[in-house]
């Protein structure tokens, strides 16, 4: 949800506390995909720097 709504600070907090950067939703969508589809470039940058796979949906 944080990626979907563009909450960069929440994404950073989740990652700092061990959230999996590549975990997918029930629909099979990654946080990176969701953030990019919704135009949240700051969140995309955070996720990529945290190691998100840019080739994963």
Q: How high is the pLDDT of residue 45?
A: 98
- Contact status, residue 37 vs residue 2, Cβ threshold 8 Å: no
Q: To which H or E segment does residue 5 belong? A: helix 2-5
Domain 2-49 CATH class label: mainly alpha
Contact 50, 15 (CB under 8 A): yes
Question: Which of the residues in the chain have pLDDT under 70?
Answer: 57
Q: Domain boundaries in the chain?
A: 2-49
pTM of the model: 0.91
Q: What angle do CA 8, 32, 7 make, to 5 degrees?
A: 15
Report whether 12 contacts 48 (CB < 8 A): no
The reported pLDDT for the residue numbered 56 is 80
């Amino acid at each position: 949800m944080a990626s979907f709504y563009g909450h960069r600070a929440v994404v950073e907090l989740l990652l700092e506390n061990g959230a999996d950067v590549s975990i997918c939703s029930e629909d099979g969508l990654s946080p990176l995909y969701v953030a990019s589809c919704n135009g949240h470039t700051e969140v995309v940058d955070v996720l990529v720097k945290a190691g998100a796979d840019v080739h994963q949906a």
